[in-house]
Every structure is written in C-alpha cells, then in structure tokens.
A and B are shown apart, each in its own frame.
Chain A
Amino acid sequence: MNYPEFYSALFRVTLPETALELAALLVLIVDLGFLRKAALKVRVTVAALLGVAGCGAALWTLQLQAQGGLSFNGTGEILLASGGSAQVAQSGILILTALTLLLLIDSVFTKHVGEYVAVVLMAATGGLLIAAAQDLLVIFIGLELLSLGLYILTAFAKSSAKSAEAAMKYYLFGGMAAAFLLFGFSYLYGITGSTNLNQIFAALAVSENVSHPLLIVAVVLIFAGLGFKVAAVPFHLWAPDTYEGAPAPAAAFIASVSKVASFALLLSIGFASSHIFIPQLAGAAWSAQLNAGIGAGSGFGISWDVIVFVAALLSMVVGNLAALAQVSVRRLLAYSAIAHAGYLLLGIPTNNYEVALRLSFTSSGRATGAVLFYVLTYGLTTIGAFGVVGVVERATGSDRLDSFLGLHKRNPVLAAVLLVLFLSLAGIPPLAGFWAKFNLFAAVLGVSAGPVPFILVALAVAFSAVSLYYYLQVLKRAYVMPAIDETPIKAHPVTLTVLVLIAATVVLLGCFPALLQGWIEGLCPIS
C-alpha cells in the first residue's frame, strides 16, 4: 500500500472536513485567547462569523475534491465518496450549518460561545463524513462525531433543567442506538468479510449469504441505529424532548443538519445495495417481491425495504396524530419532524429499486434527487421555524401556542415568515415543501404500477392533509385570534434578515423548483 499517495488522496478528499476543523480550532483560539474580556455580544458575533467563514471555506473546497472518491490503492473499495449525492448533501450541510450559526447571534443562553461554535463545526464535520462514507467504520466514526456533538449542544443551556434532561435522554438513547448499529455492522462484517459497502453487498448477492439467518438480525439492528438518527418510529421518543429542551439554535441544527446527513447515508446504503437486486429482480414485479415477505429466501434488500416501509408508515401516522394534540410549538415541530421523516423514508427503498431497475430496465432514478431536494428544503424550513420560535420565546418566555397570539401585530414580518414556513411544511403550493412532496411521491409511484407504492403514497397524501390542521393552529394564533399582549416583539436585525431570506428562498424554490432540482440532477444524473 502506497502510503504517501493514500494520504495525499485522503487530504484532497477531506478538504471540507479539514476546513471545518481548522475553523473550529480558530474559533476556540480567538474566543479563549483574545476575547476573554469582550462583551458577550461581541464574542458571539465574532465566533458566529468565523464559523460561517469556515463553512464558506469548506463549501469552496468542495469543488477542489478529487473526483472518484478515496480508496485504497485506487481499487473499487471506496472509503469516502466525492461528487454526486455526497456533494449535494455536503453542500447542504454546510449551508444549513452556516444558517444555524447566524441564528446564534442574538442568543444569550450560554457564555461559552467559542466552545459552542466549535462543537457545532465539529458535529458538522461528522455530518460531512457520514454523507460521503462508503465504509462501515467510517460511517460509525462520522455518526459518533455528529451524535456526540449533538448531545453536547443539547445540554448547552446550563441554567435550564429541560436542556439537561433532554440531553441526558438524547445521550442515553443515542448511545444505545449507536451500540445497536455497531452490533449490526459487526454481523454484516461477519457474514460478508468486509466493511466496505460495495463489497458487502456484492458478497450478499451470493445466494448462500442472501438467506443467512443472521442477516435479518443485522438489518433490524442497523435500522434501529439509523432510524434513531432520523427520528423514525419506533425510535423517535427522543425527539420531542430534545426539540423542546435544546436551545433554539441547537435545536435548529439537530433538526436540519443531522437529518440531511442521515438521509444521505441511507441513500448511499441503498445505492450500494443495488448489487443484490439484479438476480432477484430481473423480470419480477416489485409488489410480487414485497408480497413474498421476509422469510421467502430473501436477503438484505427485501427485508430492509419492508422494514423501512413499515417505519415510514408508522412515522407518518404517529407523527401527524401526535402533533394534533400538542400545545408546545417545539414539540409540535418535533412530531412534525417525525412525520416528515416518514415521508422521506418512502423514498429510500424507492431509491433502491430505481437503482436496481436502472440496470435491468430503463427507468429514471428520480428518488435520489427527490429525497435530497426534500431533505434540503425541509432543513431550511425547519431552521427558519426554530428561528421564529426562538425569537418569540425570548420575547414571551415560552413556546406555547398562546405565546404566538397576535404575532401579526407584534411583528408583522416575523408573522409573515412564520406563515410562509408553516404553509411550506404543510405542503401548500407555490412553496418549496409542496414541490418536495410532489416530486417525492411522483418518484415513488413512478417505480412500479403495483398497489403497494400507491397505497403508501395515498396514505402519505392523506396524512399530509391532516397536518394542515396543526400548522393552521399556530397560524391561527398568529393571525386570527385576538392578542393578549400587544407590545411589539423586537428581533435582532441579523436574525430577521436571515429569516426573511429563508422565507424568500422557500417561496423562490417553490415557484422555480428547477433551480435546485436542476443542480441536484446535474450532480446525480438520471441515466
């Protein structure tokens, strides 16, 4: 093995991660070394701007990455992919991280600003790794880097008991999930003898491995770990408490960046698992395969897809129904996040099948682009939503529905931003959320004409309609019901600018989805 070549290739491929880590260290140095005596506001602004600059640098270095990814000896064993969906996800992560850092500027929940920004950047690095990882151990490293950062961020509001409780729950739950994940990975390694995704699935395609009994165990355990990350039912229990307890900028980061990274990972797994489908699917209809069930000599592919579909269904149902009963807007956003994870999960097996079908039939690989579009716009919208919630919380002291009463009088711009963002989450055109859902559902239906995708999409649309009710509850408070307290709510100009920009982007992407869609499809071509 040629180490100098390998390490230079490693350096080139991990330039964005390096940039972020350097930025994190720079923030720590500046904050701890030079700004000890400065006012909190100054320190926060400097740290946030340095963090944003770091994200910008990382974005720029994305273009400098070597194409083809990083592998040992240039063989097919890729450790870290570059370009394609990895690039889309990494760009998304960096932009979303920058936005959450900008939202930090007027917050007062902590004095340890440098540490906060540094942890955010390091967690984002973990996210970048996950988005590009093609090897089980690299996945695990990235996942842990991201997760540990998120646990710390959740606990950052030291004076809030809720923050500590949320962080403890998140940490315990997450630690358990990570253990499950690693256990499942170990089984996969045991069955196939490799930790590289492509090689694993190539090995699984061998018939004796396909029906290996331990494979089911591995699949379930792996999904437990990954489902936790995306807050899919039944691994969602951490989400409401974490969304409620974490400080607003941290909650925005958790809700957006970790989702983008996790779904990029799920897409990679699907892409790699396409190897297994060719012998299985040639000439067979999708629904026939699904109806054949888990035990009929099927392997990773079929059982994985069934599990993901079931989790998607449960997430949609539980997320939407539970959100109906919420009186805390943060918990409402958490349950809505679970519901959106459900919709997104529909795209994952679709992606698998499309990738597989592309090799045997001519079909478009729309699901990758659709999932990426959805998760990016969802992340953007969620950051905006938490931004608004943060401002209202600071002004009124709580995030209950009643805090939003009369928002249209107290801060009309904020109310308008809230209107745009929540309607986008509900899926009302001409906003980005509508296009994201339409695109995704069209991709799911486009794979096969069987009843299964149709039923799933029908349920997704139906539950989307249900979701309008709880989003309107918040908007009703903001626009319709009379205000109890009419004092104007002031928002920091930077925060307001960022929120207005986010809302404008949501409208723009909704009216001209080809802008983002075209860029994504340019990087992930539909062959």
Chain B
Amino acid sequence: MLAFAIYLSFAGALVMALLPKGRPALARWLALAVAVAGLAVAVAGFIAGMGQGRIVLVDVPWVPSMGIHFLLAADGISRVLVLLTGLAAVAGVLFSWNIELRTNEFFAFFLALIGGVYGVFLSFDLFLLFVFYEIAIVPKYFLIAIWGSTRREYAAMKLAIYSFAGSAMVLIGLLAAYTTAGSQSTGLVELARAGLPVSFQMWCFPLVFTGFAILAGMWPFHTWAPTGHVAAPTGASMLLAGVVMKLGAYGCLRVGIALFPHGLDPWGFSFAGIGSWRDVFAVLAVIGIVYGALVALAQTDFKFVIGYSSVSHMGFVLLGLMTLNQIGMTGAVLQMFSHGIIAGLLFAIAGRIVYDRTHTRQLAELEKMHLSRRLPFAAWAFVIAGLASIGMPGFSGFWAEMQVLVGAWMVNPWWTVAAGVGIVVGVAYIWRALQKVFFSDLLPSARELEQGHELAAITWPEVTGVVLLAGASLAVGLWPRILLDTIEPAVRTLLAGGVQ
C-alpha cells in the first residue's frame, strides 16, 4: 500500500503536465490533493508497519535474465523517511501556493521529484533504487532553472552536474558489485549476502559512499548545496534541503554500509589518527558540522545562513552513520527526519514568508524593516524554528543530536567535542539571523519611513504549513518514541549484519 505514494505522485505529475494552462488554482489544488494523499498513505503505512520488520510491498521480475526485480519494500527506516517525504511534500505545496508563472509545469516537476524520492526510500533492489535516484535529478534542474532567483541557471546546472557525478560514482560501484557478486541479482538482500571479497569492499565502499555523500552535502563536496538552495524557489528548496539531501544519506546507509560493511574495517595502518574509511568519513562529517556552522555565521544573505546550516546539520547525520553503533545510527536516522522538517520550516520562512514580501534577503536590509512588528507571525515561526534548529529540548533536533553525540563519544570522544563546538556555533548563527532579521534595534531612515509599505498579509497556506512542520518537530520532540520505536529495531537489524 505504501507503493501507492509513488504511483500517485507520478500519476499526479503526468496529469498535471496535461492540464490546460491558465488555471493555476486547479493545478494547486490538484497538487495539494496528491501530496495529501501521499501523506495519508505514508501515515497509514507507518501505523500499519509498527512493530513489524521489513515488509515487501511489490516484487515483480523486471529483467529476469539479469536478476533485476521491481522490488519495493519498507523497513522501519524507510517508513520514517516516507513519512518525512509526505510531510515535506504537503508543506512544499502549501508554501508554493503563490506561484503564478507556469504553475502546471511547476507542480508537475514537483510531484515527479516527490515520486522519485518516495521511490528511493521504498526500493529494495539496487537497480531500482538507482533508477529512482536519477529520476529525481531532472525535475530539480528545471525547478531551479525556471522558477529560481539568484543565479538560477548556474545554480541549477551546478546542482545537476554534482548530483549526476555523484550518481555516476554510485553507478560504477553498483556495476562492480553486481558483476563481482556473479551477475545474478541486484536485490539489496541478495547482494548483502553475496559475500563480496574484503579487498573489493575496501575500494568499492568509499566510492559508493562518496557518491551518495555528495548528495548528502558532505564536505568538501557540499558547495552545490548552498548555491542551489538559495537559488531554488521556496517549495523546491524545502524539498532539496529537507528530503533530497536525505536521499544521499539514505543511500550511504542502505547501500554503502549495508552492502560493504567490511569497507569500514581498519586498514591495518593509521595516519594521523585515521586508520579506516570510517575515520575518514567521520572526520569529514565533523569538519562539515563545524565548517558549515562557521560559514553560516559569516553570511550576509538570510537564505545562505540556512543553506550552510543544512550542510552543518547533515554532518550530524553522516557522523551518526559512522559511529556504527545502535544509538549513533538511530540518532542519524532521527536527525534525517528532524532536519528535514526543520530545514523545510526555515526555508519556508526565509523564502516564502520573508523574501516574497520584502524582496530582499540581505541581513543588512532586513535589519531596518522591523519585521517583528510588521510580520509577527514570521517572527514567532522563526523563533520556534530557530529553537528547533539549535537542538533545544522539546523539539526533535535535541533527541537526534544527543543520540549522535553519545554514539560518537563511544567511538572517539574528540568527535563529540568537535561536534559540540558546531552546536554552539549553531546557536550563534541562528541568534544572529534572528536578531538581525526580526529583532534589531536599528531605526529606519526617514526615507524608509516614508516608503513604509504594507507587507502582504499572511495567507492560510503559510499558516497551515508552519503549523504542520513545527507541530511535527514538536510532537517528535515531546514524544520521540513515535519514531524511535520504528527506527530502533530497523537499525538493530541492519547492524546485526544484513539488510534482513
């Protein structure tokens, strides 16, 4: 039944492309209906799957001579991420309610992207996973290139080429693994059991992991992310930062770690404290956390602050994956969900609520606009989103980051210390943005007082979207067991050596 999330999204995209032009309202409502249907399916699937392990949804032979199956299945991790996608999709549609230019095509690409993302999370055949992964690249390009803002064509091409390069690396690894395992099957379970030689895993793991990690925004391959997210229209940047970066992290987990576990073994020698690919990627993740935070602190563009904060938070995910223990990896998956919601909320505020009204993202200009008085809703929303982002207890980010830090401490305390520095800097850049955008004391100049235009009122889709996202983060923050009960068994199975 979860498979219907995929089918509905693609069907919706197709219908949307064929709708008559010039009726944006029809397109919006259809998109919302499809997104809500997807969310409903995700929630239903989540509830139905509670307490269960991996459930196979669809298993149809696709190219029998090569052992490729159209295999859709869901374990705990998949169900959580599908739920995230559902929430992000609905919120994304809501925050794109004001798109007037080529509305049909916007939502067609949007729904196609959502469909691809659902597909990746539900695929248990490596070939199928790769197909959905690549399907997602093209809508991203067009969403940014047509409806984006600053340097959109450059940003769109950069994002597309980076993503494609990453998936090229994954394809090479996929082909190598498939042929080394005997060209019998591309199923994830079968490949995990195929017993690939350790020497093979030693080079294939970093290749595949890096390929996926590029999309997850791992330092130093992250530069596409801030550029792309800033240039993208609000709905697209919510999806990109919220869900698409998680595709990369999910791939790292589901393909990289599950299929090539011995790639993480110690090399036998160590260089400056680094003795295995696990150390390498953990260090890169930590650098990403701190670097992303420091660079965010220096930004002058509101959306760039959030873009770099995404890089920083994704570092937590990758760090959690590299801990290879129960609590760290559970934290990583929870952080995927949590950051997806929070990033969506932050981009929604910066893009839809603030930028679409003030037409500027420069902190220096926003400082003079007294937005706490003119847009109190936005101020409230950003305070909540900011608290969630810094990891305040009561929101989902706290549980996620805490688990990752504990898990990291169990492996190497220095990782936790460095990541902790990142959290402190995280408070700094959020506070800085909050203060400059909403709560500054600067008095407007006389000319600005004269100009003082009324900012457009907050619309119901924006309110709904904020409530949805903030509510989700709060709910998980107050009662994390909603998700942890589903994530923990799945992680346990994965660690026990096998994709189940």
Against A, the Cβ 8 Å flags (1 = close, 0 = not) of B152-177 are 01001100110011011001100110
Pick from B62, B137, B138, B172: contact of A457, CB under 8 Å: B172
Do A521 and B65 have beta carbons less than 8 Å apart?
Answer: yes
Q: What 0/1 readout, one digit per residue, does chain B (383-422) give for beta carbons within 8 Å of chain A?
A: 0000000000000000000000000000000000000000
Q: Give B207's nearest chain A residue, CB to CB.
A: A458
* Least CB separation from A510: chain B residue: B131
Q: Is A56 at the interface (CB under 8 A from chain B)?
A: no
Contacts A428-B137, A446-B179: A513 and B63 contacting too (C-beta < 8 A)?
yes
Q: Are B175 and A442 in contact (CB under 8 A)?
A: yes
- Cβ of A472 under 8 Å from chain B: yes
15 contacts between A and B (CB under 8 A): A429-B130, A434-B131, A442-B66, A442-B179, A461-B172, A462-B168, A468-B164, A469-B157, A472-B141, A472-B157, A476-B153, A479-B145, A480-B156, A517-B63, A518-B65
Q: Residues 297-320 of chain B: 1 if any A CB is under 8 Å from the residue's CB, otherwise 0?
A: 000000000000000000000000
CB distance from B344 to the nearest CB of A (A): 25
- Taking a contact as CB atoms under 8 Å apart, the answer to whether A514 and B62 are in contact is yes
Residues of B in contact, count (CB < 8 Å) = 34
Q: What are the nearest 3 A-B pairs in CB distance?
A: A429-B131, A465-B168, A445-B179
Q: A461, B135: Cβ atoms under 8 Å?
A: no
Q: Does A449 contact B (CB under 8 A)?
A: yes
DSSP class of B's interface residues: helix, strand, loop or mixed?
helix
What total of A-B pairs shows CB separation below 8 Å? Answer: 81
Q: Which residues of A contact B135 (CB under 8 A)?
A: 428-430
In the complex, whether A526 has a CB less than 8 A from a CB of chain B is: yes
A423-449 contacts to B, CB under 8 A, are 423, 428-430, 434, 438-439, 441-442, 445-446, 449
Residues 391-438 (chain A) with a chain B CB within 8 angstroms: 408, 423, 428-430, 434, 438
Q: Flag whether B382 is at the interface (Cβ < 8 A).
A: no
Residue A364 lies at the interface, judged by CB distance under 8 Å to chain B: yes
Besides A364-B183, A429-B135, A476-B153, 18 other A-B contacts (C-beta < 8 A): A428-B134, A428-B137, A429-B131, A429-B134, A430-B135, A434-B134, A438-B127, A438-B171, A442-B66, A442-B175, A445-B176, A449-B179, A449-B180, A461-B172, A465-B167, A480-B142, A513-B63, A514-B65
Per the CB 8 Å criterion, the residue count for chain A at the interface is 35
Q: What residues of chain A have their CB less than 8 Å away from a CB belonging to chain B?
A: 364, 408, 423, 428-430, 434, 438-439, 441-442, 445-446, 449, 454, 457-458, 461-462, 464-465, 468-469, 472, 476, 479-481, 512-514, 517-518, 521, 526
Query: A446, B138: Cβ atoms under 8 Å?
Result: no
Partner pick for B175 among A430, A438, A476, A512, CB 8 A cutoff: A438
What is the CA–CA distance of A526 and B138 in the complex, to the nearest angstrom? Answer: 35
Closest CB-CB distance, A10 to chain B, in whole Å?
35
- Distance to closest chain A CB from B199 (angstroms): 11
Are A472 and B160 within 8 A (Cβ)? yes
Known contacts A442-B175, A472-B141, A514-B63; A464 and B146 CB within 8 A of each other? no
Return chain B residues, CB-CB under 8 Å to A465.
161, 164-165, 167-168
CB distance from A370 to the nearest CB of B (A): 10
Residues of B within 8 A of A (CB): 62-66, 105, 127, 130-131, 134-135, 137-138, 141-142, 145-146, 153, 156-157, 160-161, 164-165, 167-168, 171-172, 175-176, 178-180, 183
> Interface SS of chain A: helix, strand, loop or mixed?
helix
Q: Report the Cα distance A195→B451, complex, angstroms.
A: 90
Which residues of chain A come closer than 8 Å to B145, judged between CB atoms?
476, 479-480
Measured CA separation A518–B142 after assembly (Å): 35
Choose among A428, A442, A468 the residue that contacts B178 (Cβ–Cβ < 8 A).
A442
Instruction: List, in ascending order, chain B residues with CB within 8 A of A434's CB.
Output: 131, 134
Give the CA-CA distance A513 to B131 in the complex, in Å.
13
User: What CA separation (Å) do A434 and B171 show in the bound complex?
Assistant: 11
- Give chain A residues whose Cβ lies under 8 Å from the Cβ of B65: 514, 517-518, 521, 526
Closest to A469 in B: B161
Q: Are B63 and A445 in contact (CB under 8 A)?
A: no
Query: What is the distance, in angstroms, from B49's C-beta to the closest C-beta of chain A?
Result: 27
Q: A449–B160 Cα gap in the complex (Å)?
A: 32
Contact of B183 among A442, A512, A513 (CB under 8 A): A442
Whether the pair A468, B172 counts as a contact (CB closer than 8 A) is no
- Give every chain A residue within 8 A of B171 (Cβ-Cβ): 438, 441, 461
**Chain A neighbourhood of B183, CB < 8 A:** 364, 442, 446
Which residues on B sit within 8 Å (CB–CB) of A457?
172, 175
A476 CA / B63 CA spacing, docked (Å)? 33
Q: How far is the CA of A481 from the CA of B131 in the complex (A)?
A: 28
Are B138 and A423 neighbours in the complex by a CB distance under 8 Å? yes
* Cα A513 to Cα B63 with chains together (Å): 7
**In the assembly, what is the distance between CA of A430 and CA of B63, in Å?**
13
CB neighbours of A430 from chain B (8 A): 131, 135
